[in-house]
Amino acid sequence: MRSQELLRWAHTAQLTNLNHHGTYQSWITNFSETIRQYQALQTDENKLSDQMCVDFLNNSMRGPTHLEGVLDICYTARRAAGTPDPFNITFKEYVERLIQAAQPHDETLGQNRGRGSRSANFHSILGDESDEEEDSDDKDDP
């Protein structure tokens, strides 16, 4: 049942139709994780091919024009470079290319939290702990 649910979601999910509120990168990695979970539940002969995974992910990218064209640009570049089979792309490679294409957009939204925000949160956590330690030290003093 679980593998059927995962496959149904991967086959029908579209970024623009699900009101995804995170970054495009998070959508792509979530999709990739769903495929990984599905594949883990399958025997070798029942696993999806890389091409099928690429097709599912490509179909889910309908909407954001800068992501819709990533696969076509990849194929064109491979053909121009003389790659023997320019349409033979691995799912992992496609995921990486989509993430690269999504980064500039995600950064302009201010949704991509970099080291600065993690660092600030980390320091505020440390600050809270050090205040608690000081409070407990004060209580121990006569």
Closest CA to 9 of 29, 43, 35: 35
Which of 19-28, 59-68, 74-83, 107-116 shows the lowest per-residue confidence on average (mean pLDDT)?
Answer: 107-116
Q: How would residue 93 be classed by pLDDT, with cut points 50, 70 and 90?
A: very high
DSSP state of 46: G
Q: Are residues 67 and 123 in the same domain?
A: no
Evaluate if residue 28 carries a pLDDT over 80: yes
Q: How would residue 134 be classed by pLDDT, with cut points 50, 70 and 90?
A: very low
Q: Are residues 103 and 122 in the same domain?
A: no
Q: Are residues 28 and 63 in the same domain?
A: yes
Q: Are residues 49 and 93 in the same domain?
A: yes
Q: Are residues 82 and 133 in the same domain?
A: no
Q: What residues make up the domain containing 19?
A: 2-111
Q: Are residues 47 and 75 in the same domain?
A: yes
Evaluate if residue 19 carries a pLDDT over 50: yes
* Structure confidence at residue 86 (pLDDT): 84
Q: Are residues 26 and 85 in the same domain?
A: yes
* CA distance between the termini of the chain: 65
* Structure confidence at residue 22 (pLDDT): 81
Interval 61-72 mean pLDDT: 85
Cα distances (Å, whole numbers) of residue 125 to 13, 113, 118, 120: 38, 17, 11, 9
Residues 6+ away with beta carbon under 8 Å from 111 = 22, 23
Q: Model-level pTM greater than 0.85?
A: no
Closest CA to 90 of 53, 46, 42, 139: 53
Q: Are residues 76 and 123 in the same domain?
A: no
Q: How would residue 62 be classed by pLDDT, with cut points 50, 70 and 90?
A: confident
* Structure confidence at residue 120 (pLDDT): 41
Q: Are residues 50 and 79 in the same domain?
A: yes
The residue with greater pLDDT, 115 or 70, is 70
Q: How many domains is the chain partitioned into structurally? A: 2
Q: Are residues 54 and 96 in the same domain?
A: yes
Q: Are residues 43 and 92 in the same domain?
A: yes
Residues 6+ away with beta carbon under 8 Å from 118 = none
Q: How would residue 131 be classed by pLDDT, with cut points 50, 70 and 90?
A: very low
* Structure confidence at residue 36 (pLDDT): 97
Q: Are residues 10 and 77 in the same domain?
A: yes
